[in-house]
Chain A
Amino acid sequence: MLSAKSKTGLVFFPAFDWAISPTHPEREERLLYTQDQVFEEGLLDIEGIVEYKPDLAAMEDIRRVHFCHPDEKSVITESHLISAGGALKIGVELVERRIERGFALVRPPGHHAMRVVHGARGFCNINIEAIMIEHLREAYGIDRVAIVDTDCHHGDGTQNIYWHDPDTLFISIHQDGRTLYPGSGFHDEMGGPSALGTTVNIPLPPRTSEQGFLYVLENAVLPILDDFKPQLIVNSAGQDNHYSDPITNMSFSAQGYAELTHRLQPHIAVLEGGYSIEGALPYVNVGIILALAGVDFQNVREPDYNPDRIRQSRDTSEYIRQLVEVVMDAWSSAPKIRASNREKGGFAQRDLRIFYDTSGILENQRETLLVCEACSGTLRIDSRTDKGSRILAVHIPRKACVRCREQGYAWFDSGEIRNYDSFYLQDRTQDQYFVRRK
């Protein structure tokens, strides 16, 4: 009788009646063959693997993370509430210690959704990992969290949300942004001045295979996690690094994903992308579930798996070795720079240009951060889109000091609203959300 070494919760929500459009990669059929494989392998009968129904995410769960403009209902569908609710369910079961590992095998995905949401980008509307994490922080007082994003695309949404948060370590391993959407995630993107270093980007060259991913895991990801000491490790488990994925160029495999999961030992995995719906997803998902549960996965492989055919070149190995060196140097020197930034204080500004490829919106943002020695600092976002929207969004972080909190309310209350559609305020110290409309 097979039994799980670690009690593992699974929310499987394939949204069989939801698609972005009929022929879009994010369509009804996406998890059909995965379901077939999971059922045929009898995974849900393994002692210690339990399947849960997803919860529905609530408005306050979304408002803890996002500024949705003009409002939540306009930018999401029920399917998003269920997929976020699926991640939430796993998070709650885990923190309540009813399971030791969990996997939200849900769609639609979320890691391209940023703090401000005007529409959908990269098939994502709301960030399901962030919604789960902030719920767990609010309801259970979880503090330090690490997100390891192994989707082939840079997790630019998650990066954006946690850019200024030193308590959230965000590590993204992805195909180099010079060769793939969204075109970001270079190794020098390391977080805002108050949280420098807690964003780690490891962009890998096309055709990186098992060898490269596992090298990065052993030599960068695991040592960094060791240093950071998170209470919770979340894996954004995109599956599009697979050699058969139609929209990317990597050479990862089901065995590789399972091995990576086995070594990373995330508490929670959340499905992100992955569009090789027949050749990869059924096998990768089985591999990940078995690895989480601590069940033998050695025999899991794709029917056409041939390690020789997907082996990475020597140049690629050498490139990755050097990249990891750079990343680790930056990781060790970041705390000092971060401390000196915070000591200096003042206001830090950056401009962002964000394209919503799925909704076809171009957004320009000016971020202003109150750099603070006592806390991670209040953030002000002035956002306008090419569709004519303009909003002001203020985020007061969870552990904001009195001064930063007052600055947040000052921005929100006394700003001149005439030129804006709405003002939004997230006060995470009180778990409150306010809107001022013109």
Chain B
Amino acid sequence: MIIGLDVGGTHTDAVLIGSEGILRYTKVVTNSSKLFESVWGALVEVTQDVPPESIRRIVLSTTLTTNAIAEGKLEKAGMIVSSGPGIAPEYYRTGEHYFTVSGSIDHRGREIQPVDRLEIEAISARLQAAGVRHVGVVGKFSVRNPAHELEINELLDKSFDYVALGHRLSGNLSFPRRIATAHLSASVYSIHGKFFQAVQESLQMKGMDLPIYILKADGGTMNLETSLTNPAQSILSGPAASVMGSLLFASKDQETLVLDIGGTTTDMAVLIRGTPLLEPFGIEIGGYKTLIRGLKTRSIALGGDTSVRVLDGKLKIGPERKGPAMAYGGPAPTPTDALFVLGKTTDGDRESARAGLDPIARKLGISLEETAGRIFDQACDMILEAAAHMVAEINGKPVYTVHEVLEGHRVKPTEILVLGGPAPHFAQRLAALTDVGIRVVPYWQVTNAIGAALARNTSEVTLFVDTERGIALAPEEDFSQSVKRDFSRDAARELACRLLRIKHQREGASDPEPEMEVIEESQFNMVRQFHTSGRNIRVKVQVKPGLIPEYGCILENPIGLPAHA
């Protein structure tokens, strides 16, 4: 049996899945200030009377780090940044303990200016004196040559609890994003570590000494150990959980739009033949543009609880949520109230819903039912418009070769999967508004927890080879090797795959022979004075987001979902 748990803004969901399908499901109210209690409460409930040894693994997706960022409750972190020429690094200041230092590396990875050791030692002393325990160290082009970051790390001489080195976080270029990512890593390190150590200890006390996996923003998992040194990967795993859950039900030969309609927001994602699309550089959260690998998701401020009003004679939905629907005792009318008026939902106070919509109907001069219909239609239109915008943005992504411009594939979803609270009602209406096939994800109430439970490990390796300089480098893996002039693209691909396999095992993969794919590959002849002087090869390989294969039973044995306890 396996467990999947997803903490959401309102509820925490957990599922217990066995070889027969979903065995148990629970939903508890999330208490953001006491997140551990929510997680623990849901875990206790879902594992009640289950023999500990029969549980094989547990995957957790929490809002812990995401909330810490959103609420500005970050630990104080130091940043040591070396840039050399370019945009002045002062623009990327992350807070009080931000130091720009000497040292610079160019785009080929050549040292332009060395690190000033005395400068680093002085900064180290200042950080320690200020009580800073976590530090990010970032250099421009450190993914082309990590020597300076490594040297600074050595000079810090284990005086800090955690040092986030920029080149270990991602193989992608982007100095500002590297700074943001290292800063977030250092800032959430102990929040993340303390929380999951507590979870692990509590489980052990219950006799459950089982592997714990953390869901990442890219819809993959990593083992607890990996997450402790790379905590930023756990940021924004929430949307990924739902997308991964919907994967089980998506057609493997189509392009799919996933709509997760919640109380406050609707989150959307695109699947290409059963694989979710990733952000090209990394996710954006709380104003930070990062290098954290994540699914491409778009969130709009429109959900079942979004408030509805009339503005300048026009119906306006959102963007704010003032509370639950009036049918559930909330303060303002919402699309959910419209569902009550239309008689589609009945488990609340229909009269309050009617009373809430009444002033709107008067202002618009139409009947109550017509008003409800219009609210509902407008909400559906807004969702479809945002989805069209997202698809256009995906298709607008620039490409850099003649071949890609001419052959460029355009994404055009041919099915829509809807999940979340009001999913069935919305699906019905959306179906009338578009000619794309629409389906409601079965188990739409727990898709997120299923997604967490079934997600497999994902990994990525970026390899950079410069045969003129005679180096092969996989910065995230702390790997470098000297290479000869004749080092080929094939050899590079093979090396990248070998590194990926090792990483995949280390980070907790369940499959020894993962399905690897090359996502980027290029080779340039380097010509100097009209002679080929070397090759510049770049390879990026990944194990893509997907589901562990053992639990297809959920599809094959669609047993009824047990009512939650």
Q: What is A's interface to B at a CB cutoff of 8 Å?
A: 1-2, 11-18, 22-23, 27-29, 32-33, 35-37, 39-42, 45, 51-54, 56, 77-79, 82, 278, 282-283, 286, 290, 295-296, 298-303, 305
Interface residue from A52, A296, A298, A303 paired with B398 (Cβ < 8 Å): A52
The answer for the CA separation of A78 and B402 in the assembled complex, in Å, is: 7
Are B175's CB and A299's CB within 8 A?
no
Query: Which residues from A are CB-within-8-Å of B176?
Result: 41-42, 45
Query: Which residues from B are CB-within-8-Å of A29?
Result: 524-527, 536
Asked if B396 is at the interface of the complex by the 8 Å CB criterion, the answer is: yes
Query: Which residues from B are CB-within-8-Å of A14?
Result: 400
Over the window 521-533 of chain B, the binary record of Cβ atoms lying under 8 Å from chain A Cβ atoms (1 yes, 0 no) is 0101111001110
- The 6 tightest CB contacts between A and B, nearest first, are A42-B176, A39-B173, A17-B401, A303-B112, A40-B173, A36-B107
Are B85's CB and A301's CB within 8 A?
yes
Asked if B148 is at the interface of the complex by the 8 Å CB criterion, the answer is: no
Asked if B370 is at the interface of the complex by the 8 Å CB criterion, the answer is: no
Interface residue from A27, A282, A300 paired with B107 (Cβ < 8 Å): A282
- Nearest opposing residue in chain B for A13, CB measure: B400
Interface of A is mostly: loop
Over the window 92-131 of chain B, the binary record of Cβ atoms lying under 8 Å from chain A Cβ atoms (1 yes, 0 no) is 0000000000001011100010000000000000000000
Query: Which residues from A are CB-within-8-Å of B402?
Result: 15, 17-18, 77-79, 82
Q: Assuming A2-B91, A36-B107, what are 11 further A-B pairs, CB within 8 angstroms?
A: A14-B400, A33-B108, A36-B141, A36-B144, A40-B173, A41-B176, A51-B398, A52-B398, A79-B402, A303-B84, A303-B104
Are A53's CB and B526's CB within 8 A?
no
The answer for the CA separation of A41 and B91 in the assembled complex, in Å, is: 12
Are A16's CB and B140's CB within 8 A?
no
Are B87's CB and A299's CB within 8 A?
yes
Query: Which residues from B are CB-within-8-Å of A305?
Result: 85
Query: Which residues from A are CB-within-8-Å of B527?
Result: 22-23, 27, 29
Are A23's CB and B531's CB within 8 A?
yes
The answer for the CA separation of A18 and B287 in the assembled complex, in Å, is: 38
Query: Which residues from A are CB-within-8-Å of B564?
Result: none
Are B525's CB and A78's CB within 8 A?
no
Are B398's CB and A12's CB within 8 A?
yes
Query: Which residues from B are CB-within-8-Å of A12?
Result: 398, 400
Q: How far is the CB of B414 from chain A (nearest CB, A)?
A: 23
List residues of B (262-312) whose CB comes within 8 Å of A's CBs.
281, 287, 289
**When A40-B107, A79-B402 are in contact, do A300 and B531 touch as well, CB less than 8 Å?**
no
Q: How far is the CB of A403 from chain B (nearest CB, A)?
A: 44
13 contacts between A and B (CB under 8 A): A13-B400, A16-B401, A18-B402, A23-B532, A33-B108, A45-B281, A278-B107, A278-B108, A286-B86, A298-B88, A300-B85, A302-B85, A305-B85
- Nearest opposing residue in chain A for B403, CB measure: A17
Asked if B47 is at the interface of the complex by the 8 Å CB criterion, the answer is: no
The answer for the CA separation of A292 and B136 in the assembled complex, in Å, is: 32
Q: How far is the CB of A80 from chain B (nearest CB, A)?
A: 10
Are A299's CB and B85's CB within 8 A?
yes
How many interface residues does B have (CB within 8 Å)? Answer: 42
- Nearest opposing residue in chain A for B85, CB measure: A301
Query: Which residues from A are CB-within-8-Å of B177?
Result: 42, 45
Are B530's CB and A23's CB within 8 A?
yes
Asked if B205 is at the interface of the complex by the 8 Å CB criterion, the answer is: no
Are A299's CB and B86's CB within 8 A?
yes
- Nearest opposing residue in chain B for A54, CB measure: B405
Are B398's CB and A283's CB within 8 A?
no
Are B401's CB and A41's CB within 8 A?
no
Query: Which residues from A are CB-within-8-Å of B399?
Result: 53
Are A28's CB and B87's CB within 8 A?
no
Over the window 150-183 of chain B, the binary record of Cβ atoms lying under 8 Å from chain A Cβ atoms (1 yes, 0 no) is 0000000000000000000000111111000000
Q: How far is the CB of B279 from chain A (nearest CB, A)?
A: 12
- Nearest opposing residue in chain A for B143, CB measure: A40
Are B174's CB and A82's CB within 8 A?
no
Q: How far is the CB of B162 from chain A (nearest CB, A)?
A: 25
Query: Which residues from B are CB-within-8-Å of A301?
Result: 85
Q: How far is the CB of B352 from chain A (nearest CB, A)?
A: 43
Interface residue from B107, B396, B532 paired with A22 (Cβ < 8 Å): B532
Are A53's CB and B107's CB within 8 A?
no
Interface residue from A53, A298, A302 paired with B397 (Cβ < 8 Å): A53
Asked if B406 is at the interface of the complex by the 8 Å CB criterion, the answer is: yes
Query: Which residues from B are CB-within-8-Å of A40?
Result: 86, 107, 140-141, 173-175
Q: Please indicate which of the listed interface residues B87, B281, B397 has the most CB atoms of chain A within 10 Å of its own CB.
A: B87
List residues of B (67-88) whose CB comes within 8 Å of A's CBs.
84-88
The answer for the CA separation of A79 and B406 in the assembled complex, in Å, is: 10
Query: Which residues from A are CB-within-8-Å of B531?
Result: 23
Are A283's CB and B396's CB within 8 A?
no
Q: How far is the CB of B540 from chain A (nearest CB, A)?
A: 13
Are B85's CB and A283's CB within 8 A?
yes
The answer for the CA separation of A87 and B173 in the assembled complex, in Å, is: 26
Query: Which residues from A are CB-within-8-Å of B532?
Result: 22-23
The answer for the CA separation of A90 and B369 in the assembled complex, in Å, is: 49
Query: Which residues from A are CB-within-8-Å of B172?
Result: 39
Are A300's CB and B400's CB within 8 A?
no
Query: Which residues from B are CB-within-8-Å of A302?
Result: 85
Over the window 385-398 of chain B, the binary record of Cβ atoms lying under 8 Å from chain A Cβ atoms (1 yes, 0 no) is 00000000000111
Q: How far is the CB of B313 from chain A (nearest CB, A)?
A: 29
The answer for the CA separation of A92 and B530 in the assembled complex, in Å, is: 38
Q: Please indicate which of the listed interface residues B144, B401, B522, B526 has the most CB atoms of chain A within 10 Å of its own CB.
A: B401
Q: How far is the CB of A78 from chain B (nearest CB, A)?
A: 5
The answer for the CA separation of A278 and B88 in the assembled complex, in Å, is: 21
List residues of B (38-78) whose CB comes within 8 Å of A's CBs.
none
Query: Which residues from A are CB-within-8-Å of B106?
Result: 303
Interface residue from A32, A52, A79, A282 paired with B396 (Cβ < 8 Å): A52
The answer for the CA separation of A53 and B400 in the assembled complex, in Å, is: 9
Q: Please indicate which of the listed interface residues A14, A29, A295 has the most CB atoms of chain B within 10 Å of its own CB.
A: A29
The answer for the CA separation of A42 and B530 in the assembled complex, in Å, is: 32
Q: How far is the CB of B524 from chain A (nearest CB, A)?
A: 5
The answer for the CA separation of A283 and B86 in the assembled complex, in Å, is: 8
Query: Which residues from B are CB-within-8-Å of A286?
Result: 86-87
Q: Please indicate which of the listed interface residues B104, B106, B522, B532 has the most CB atoms of chain A within 10 Å of its own CB.
A: B106
Q: How far is the CB of B266 from chain A (nearest CB, A)?
A: 25
Are B85's CB and A303's CB within 8 A?
yes
Over the window 171-212 of chain B, the binary record of Cβ atoms lying under 8 Å from chain A Cβ atoms (1 yes, 0 no) is 011111100000000000000000000000000000000000
Over the window 351-375 of chain B, the binary record of Cβ atoms lying under 8 Å from chain A Cβ atoms (1 yes, 0 no) is 0000000000000000000000000
Query: Which residues from B are CB-within-8-Å of A56?
Result: 405
Query: Which residues from A are CB-within-8-Å of B289?
Result: 42, 45
Q: Please indicate which of the listed interface residues A15, A35, A40 has the most CB atoms of chain B within 10 Å of its own CB.
A: A40
**When A42-B175, A45-B177 are in contact, do A37 and B524 touch as well, CB less than 8 Å?**
no
Query: Which residues from B are CB-within-8-Å of A79?
Result: 402
Are B398's CB and A53's CB within 8 A?
yes
The answer for the CA separation of A32 and B173 in the assembled complex, in Å, is: 13
Interface residue from A2, A36, A290 paired with B173 (Cβ < 8 Å): A36
- Nearest opposing residue in chain B for A282, CB measure: B107
Interface residue from B107, B112, B287, B526 paired with A1 (Cβ < 8 Å): B287
The answer for the CA separation of A286 and B530 in the assembled complex, in Å, is: 26
Q: Please indicate which of the listed interface residues A1, A14, A35, A42 has the most CB atoms of chain B within 10 Å of its own CB.
A: A42
Are A42's CB and B174's CB within 8 A?
yes
The answer for the CA separation of A290 and B85 in the assembled complex, in Å, is: 13
Query: Which residues from A are CB-within-8-Å of B86?
Result: 37, 40-41, 286, 299-300
**When A23-B531, A32-B524, A278-B107 are in contact, do A45 and B174 touch as well, CB less than 8 Å?**
yes
Interface residue from B85, B401, B522 paired with A15 (Cβ < 8 Å): B401
Are A2's CB and B87's CB within 8 A?
yes
Query: Which residues from B are CB-within-8-Å of A1?
Result: 287
Q: How far is the CB of A230 from chain B (nearest CB, A)?
A: 29
The answer for the CA separation of A335 and B243 in the assembled complex, in Å, is: 68
Query: Which residues from A are CB-within-8-Å of B526?
Result: 29
Are B536's CB and A32's CB within 8 A?
yes
Are A33's CB and B85's CB within 8 A?
no
Q: How far is the CB of A337 from chain B (nearest CB, A)?
A: 46
